[in-house]
Chains A and B, each alone.
Chain A
Amino acid sequence: MNTDDGAGREPNLEGRHDTKGRAFWRGLKLMLTTPGLVLFATAIGFGALARDSGLTLGHTVFLSAAVYALPAQVVLVDQLARGASIAAAALAVTLTAVRLLPMTVSLLPYFRDQKSSTALRILTVHFIAVTAWVEGNRRLPDEPRQTRLPFFLGLGIGMAIMTSTGSAVGYYAATGLPTVMAATLLFATPVYFLLALFLGMRTRTDMIAIAAGALLGPILYRLLPGLDLLLTGLIGGTIAVLAGRTGRS
């Protein structure tokens, strides 16, 4: 596996004088490192699910590119397969998408000082999903300001390519994949998310946020499924900010 361990923590010196095109390319190339491969593996699972549910290959790839967030894709396919109405399916999808709001808000300050059109910004935020967020969260602070937007756009497009091709591969290949291998591939995703959070950890607040979120996630899922992730974020994040502050003074 091609790794780039912890590179995000070192100032990216060789990137200092990059042009926007080169920064975009650097971002795009990340699709062939660990995060891209893990996303590819997860998308294989989605492709298989989509096929089982009766989607065509075109639908599967379209959905991966247009939504570009695996939980929402899985929920939508599941709703359609159960014969839910479009409105009910849309509502379920919207609930999974609320989590993208804090992720988007927390990445945007990195792009603040750059001149870019609204259209380009709307395109850029399309690529905010968990994988791009964890990568952006740990890499953008070390990226020179003037190349952050093209770098992230490259990263996002690269990850979208991986998830789309992964779902296409899964659509064709997953029927022949042994179940134990499918389970192993699926398991790589939570492990990756957690380790990437550790890599992006910069402050005491981050550390407490990870611990609080990890603790609250499963509990709130049992108590309030549907709102659990949002509440986990709000409660865990607030605890982290308050506790992080107390620790500093």
Chain B
Amino acid sequence: MSAILDDGFGGYLVLFLAGFLAHEPWRWLGLLLGGNLSETSPVFVWVRAVATALVAGLVMRLVFYPAGVLTKVDLPLRLTGIAVGTLVFFYAGRSLGLGIFAGAVTLLAGVVLFGRPL
């Protein structure tokens, strides 16, 4: 383990500048732009659809091109996991907990039974 940041004030300053200050203004801009928007306006309907599509895109990116240890799990296993999770979710009457559990267990079982050793 090598220190990439100063332990004291300096390290926190770097995280504040490159983390908080690089990140937070987009939330402030959203506050500025969305503050007077109505729930029924066409712009709201569009922005909501944009945000929804963006999150759906993020999901599939995490499945197809994951980071970290998930890269060691083969794509067919990841796809099976998300498919089983979705099916169980709808069959169990839109149960979030059961769907996630089923998806995760499917991935785990897949890795144990058919996967490359991690």
B residues 61-92 with Cβ under 8 Å of A? 61-70, 72-73, 78, 81-82, 85-86, 89-90, 92
Binary interface encoding of chain A residues 164-192 relative to chain B, with 1 for a CB under 8 A from any of its CBs, else 0: 00000000000000111111111111111
Name the contact of A233 in the complex, choosing from B37, B45, B51 (C-beta under 8 A).
Answer: B51
Query: In the assembled complex, how far is the CB of residue A178 from the closest CB belonging to chain B, in whole angstroms?
Result: 8
Check A183–B17 contact: CB distance below 8 A.
no
Query: In the assembled complex, how far is the CB of residue A184 from the closest CB belonging to chain B, in whole angstroms?
Result: 5
Residues of chain B lying within 8 A (CB to CB) of residue A239: 53
Q: Is the interface of B mostly helix, strand, loop or mixed?
A: helix
Name the contact of B18 in the complex, choosing from A54, A90, A213 (C-beta under 8 A).
Answer: A90
Query: In the assembled complex, how far is the CB of residue A226 from the closest CB belonging to chain B, in whole angstroms?
Result: 12
Check A214–B65 contact: CB distance below 8 A.
no
Check B54–A238 contact: CB distance below 8 A.
no
Check B97–A122 contact: CB distance below 8 A.
no
Check A102–B58 contact: CB distance below 8 A.
no
Contact A56:B7 (CB < 8 A) given known A67-B19, A190-B59? yes
Contact A179:B72 (CB < 8 A) given known A62-B12, A66-B19, A100-B26? yes
- How many residues does chain A have at the interface if contact means C-beta atoms less than 8 Å apart? 118
CA distance A89 to B105 in the complex (A): 36
CA distance A38 to B100 in the complex (A): 9
Indicate if A149 sits at the interface (CB-CB under 8 A): no
Write the chain B residue with the least CB distance to A191: B103
Of A11-19, A20-28, A197-205, which stretch is located at the interface?
A197-205
Contact A90:B17 (CB < 8 A) given known A34-B96, A218-B60? yes
Residues of chain B lying within 8 A (CB to CB) of residue A240: 49, 52-53
Check B15–A237 contact: CB distance below 8 A.
no
Check B52–A110 contact: CB distance below 8 A.
no
CB<8 Å pairs between A and B, sample of 18: A3-B98, A56-B3, A62-B12, A67-B20, A74-B67, A105-B34, A105-B47, A106-B47, A133-B51, A190-B62, A198-B90, A211-B56, A221-B61, A234-B50, A237-B49, A237-B53, A238-B46, A240-B53
Name the contact of A193 in the complex, choosing from B14, B37, B58 (C-beta under 8 A).
Answer: B58
B residues contacting A by CB (< 8 A) are 1-5, 7, 11-12, 14-31, 33-39, 41-42, 44-70, 72-73, 78, 81-82, 85-86, 89-90, 92-101, 103-105, 107-108, 111-112, 118
Check A183–B53 contact: CB distance below 8 A.
no
CA distance A235 to B33 in the complex (A): 20
Among B2, B5, B44, B51, the most chain A Cβ lie within 10 Å of the Cβ of B51
Indicate if A146 sits at the interface (CB-CB under 8 A): no
Check A214–B39 contact: CB distance below 8 A.
no
Check A93–B55 contact: CB distance below 8 A.
no
Check B59–A217 contact: CB distance below 8 A.
yes
Check A233–B35 contact: CB distance below 8 A.
no
CA distance A204 to B110 in the complex (A): 34
Write the chain A residue with the least CB distance to B115: A180
Residues of chain A lying within 8 A (CB to CB) of residue B5: 54-56, 59, 80
Check B26–A213 contact: CB distance below 8 A.
no
Contact A54:B2 (CB < 8 A) given known A1-B101, A130-B58, A197-B52? yes
